[in-house]
């Protein structure tokens, strides 16, 4: 069986390439420079040539602040690109998986979001990802949208690696304490996605079990690393991000659990990640 993965240069794309290769799939992968998903002709020609059985789109414009000023690019990549891929997946009858985000929600619910909740994104990033979901699902019935959150993986820019770097050069770190979500390891998304291959299409929330604030997340990273760095909790207002982030974007595991899919508690996944990175010895 053949799998085609877009966004091969990103941390989730790299993880999925390794996992599906390990599982014995024939993998075709394309980075942004190799396949521009906003170019319909490129998408059509490559999918027609490769004829994958499974198409996984991890390509995205994820720079939240930059999306606010580069609206055209955000909507081209996150919405139109998803639409083009869905069109061609339908044409070649490939099962289509599209990776989305917790930013499609407004963050005002303060209890875990389920798949049926109304999406009310507040940012251009969230709005463009929401449109990508809508277009993909409306275009092709064999589309599965995976919403995830607070992603970290090997060979990528993410919160865990940022805290690790700061721990080597700073005595104290300011971290937001009033935003809550689900830290999620790319490896665990890969294992859940593999199980979804045999499940009905639709929208699924995939994140590690449990939730925390960014402040609690940072403290856990430093605890595992045994780093003596002081973490100072600050409010979102004090931190002063250019673009507001969802205050609460915890994703419910109810639907995947009902389909027999269970992800690990986020602290366990974080520990494994740091062990594999060589920052922590095994238990």
Whether pLDDT at 257 is above 80: yes
Q: 90-122 burial by CB neighbour count: b if 16+ within 10 A, else e?
A: beeebbbbbbbbbbbbbbebeebbeeebebebb
Listed by start position, the domains of the chain span: 2-156+183-209+249-264
Residue 128's pLDDT is 98
| 128-178 residue pLDDT tens | 999 999 999 999 999 999 999 999 999 888 999 999 999 988 889 999 999
* Residues 102-135: tens digit of each pLDDT: 999 999 998 999 999 999 999 999 999 999 999 9
C-alpha–C-alpha distance, residues 14 and 129, integer Å: 21
**Region of residue 78 (left: phi > 0; alpha: psi -120 to 50; beta: else):** alpha
CB 10 within 8 A of CB 156: yes
φ, ψ for residue 82, nearest 5 deg: -65, -40
Q: Can you give the pTM of this predicted structure?
A: 0.95
- Torsion (CA) 109, 113, 114, 116 in degrees, nearest 10: 50
Q: What per-residue confidence (pLDDT) applies to 282?
A: 57
Range 272-277 average pLDDT? 93
Over the chain, what is the mean pLDDT?
Answer: 96
Point out the residues that are catalytic.
125
CA dist 40 and 48 (Å) reads 12
CATH number assigned to the domain covering 2-156+183-209+249-264: 3.40.50.720
Residue 53 reports pLDDT greater than 90: yes
Across the range 7-27, mean pLDDT stands at 97
Q: What residues contact residue 19 under an 8 Å CB cut-off, 6+ apart?
A: 187, 190, 191, 194
CA 85 to chain centre: 18
What is the β-pairing status of strands 151-152 and 143-148?
Answer: unpaired
Q: Distance (Å, rounded) from C-alpha 121 to C-alpha 66?
A: 16
Residues 6+ apart with CB under 8 A from 26: 1, 2, 3
- Beginning with the edge strand found earlier in the chain, give each strand of the sheet holding 95-101 in spatial order: 26-30, 2-6, 54-57, 95-101, 143-148, 202-205
**CA-based torsion, 111, 113, 117, 119: positive or negative:** positive
**Using 50, 70 and 90 to split pLDDT, how confident is the model at 281?**
low
Span 213-250, pLDDT tens digits: 999 999 999 999 999 899 999 999 999 888 999 999 99
């Amino acid at each position: 069986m053949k799998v085609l993965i877009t966004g091969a240069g990103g941390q989730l794309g790299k993880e999925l390439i390794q996992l599906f290769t390990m599982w014995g799939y024939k993998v075709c992968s394309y980075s942004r420079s190799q396949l521009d998903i906003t170019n319909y002709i490129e998408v059509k020609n490559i999918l027609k040539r490769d004829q994958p059985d499974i198409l996984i789109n991890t390509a995205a414009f994820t720079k939240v602040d930059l999306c606010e000023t580069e609206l055209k690019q955000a909507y081209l990549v996150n919405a139109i690109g998803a639409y083009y891929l869905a069109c061609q997946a339908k044409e070649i009858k490939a099962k289509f998986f599209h990776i989305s985000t917790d930013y499609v929600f407004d963050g005002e619910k303060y209890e875990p979001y389920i798949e049926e909740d109304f999406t009310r994104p507040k940012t251009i990033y969230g709005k463009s990802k929401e449109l990508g979901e809508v277009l993909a699902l409306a275009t092709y019935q064999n589309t599965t949208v995976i919403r995830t959150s607070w992603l970290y993986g090997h060979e990528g820019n993410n919160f865990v690696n940022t805290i690790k770097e700061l721990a080597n050069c700073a005595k104290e770190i300011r971290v937001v304490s009033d935003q809550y979500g689900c830290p999620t390891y790319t490896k665990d998304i890969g294992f859940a996605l593999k199980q979804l291959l045999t499940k009905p299409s639709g929208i699924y929330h995939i994140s590690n079990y449990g939730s925390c604030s960014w402040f609690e997340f940072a403290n856990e990273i430093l605890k595992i690393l045994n780093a003596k760095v002081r973490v100072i909790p600050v409010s979102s207002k004090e931190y002063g991000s250019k673009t507001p982030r969802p205050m609460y974007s915890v994703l419910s595991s109810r639907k995947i659990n009902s389909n027999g899919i269970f992800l690990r508690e986020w602290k366990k996944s974080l520990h494994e990640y740091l062990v594999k990175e060589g920052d922590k010895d095994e238990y």
